[in-house]
Structure 1
Amino acid sequence: MGPVEFLVLAFPGERIGPDVVAPLTALRRSGGVRVIDTLVVVKAADGSVSAAELAEFEHLKDVAPAGDSLNLMGEEDAAEAAELLEPGSSALLILVEHVWASEAAEAFRSAGGRVAASVRIPPEHITEAHQALANAS
């Protein structure tokens, strides 16, 4: 199995549009990622929170076809994600396996290796570093 990642993708508004999940759907269909579980969390303008499986939304269900999800996320995950949201916003919680990396992961394990650390670098940090280098020239 490749690396598994839990993401909370937050959006303004109480509805996640199909254009937002289209790239994820394409990655799933191409075999780049395997969607293990999903959850949509909505924090209404009045602060109330609701959560539902992605497959319950007709316009979003292609991200994780029915029967593929393991239902590993629940109320506790929804509550924690809601703490990150402003009223009148929503989030897509997604648990994905990076299938593209599974061959490398298998080679690491076969050689007795392990991931000793993993740090996600925000893209804006890379952009800032490139800009700083360009300004220094």
Structure 2
Amino acid sequence: MGPAELLVLTFPQETITAEAARALVKLRTAGDIRVIDSLVVTRSAEGVTSYGELADFEHLRDVIGDGGSELALIGPEDAQETAELLEPGTVAVLVLIEHLWAQAAAEALSAVGGRIATGVRIPPEHIEEAVRAAGGR
């Protein structure tokens, strides 16, 4: 198995849109990653939080199909932790992905007794800022 990562995608509305769900479906079919699990967390304008699977949202059922072969690994604790970070009237999608593109590297390392122990996600704006500071583009 390649490295896995939990992403929290936020949107400035109270529910996930069909367009956002289509983008997630593309992730499933592109081949560079595997979506292991996903969960939608909403915080209403009144501050009430709730969570559910993509298939729980009636307006998304035609977009997501059967949801693939996702495992139920993201749980209520993850949903609650994410809800605490959300502003009222916003929604987040937690997506647990496996980096399939890195699987060959993980296998090669394993063959010689090594492993990918950890990783650090660096936001793109930090990379852009560092490139500008170094005199790049």
TM-score band by shorter chain is 0.7 to 0.9
2 CA distance for matches of 1:59 and 1:42? 15
SS at match of 2:133: helix
Aligned residue-pair number: 136
2 CA distance for matches of 1:61 and 1:33? 22
TM-superposed deviation, 1:134: 3.2
User: Are 1:75 and 2:86 counterparts?
Assistant: no
Unaligned runs of 5+ in 2: none
Q: Where do 1:41-120 residues align within 5 Å?
A: 41-57=41-57, 58-59=59-60, 65-66=66-67, 68-120=69-121
Is the contact made by 1:3 and 1:98 (CA closer than 8 Å) also made in structure 2?
yes
In structure 1, give the amino acid aligned to 2:49. Answer: V
1 CA distance for matches of 2:101 and 2:21? 19
The RMSD of aligned alpha carbons is 2.3
- Kindly provide the CA deviation profile for residues 86-127 of structure 1, in whole angstroms up to 9, marking residues without a partner as x: 111110011111111111111111111122442111111111
Structure 2 match to 1:123: 124
TM-superposed deviation, 1:133: 2.8
TM-superposed deviation, 1:55: 2.3
Unaligned runs of 5+ in 1: none
| TM-score when normalising by structure 1 | 0.85
- 51-60 or 117-126, larger mean C-alpha shift: 51-60
Is the contact made by 1:54 and 1:64 (CA closer than 8 Å) also made in structure 2?
no
- Kindly provide the CA deviation profile for residues 10-31 of structure 1, in whole angstroms up to 9, marking residues without a partner as x: 1111122233344443232122
| TM-score when normalising by structure 2 | 0.85
2 CA distance for matches of 1:72 and 1:61? 24
In structure 1, give the amino acid aligned to 2:75. Answer: G
In structure 2, give the amino acid aligned to 1:55. Answer: A
Is the contact made by 1:18 and 1:60 (CA closer than 8 Å) also made in structure 2?
no
Structure 2 match to 1:15: 15
Q: Percent identity of the aligned residues?
A: 51
2 CA distance for matches of 1:95 and 1:11? 17
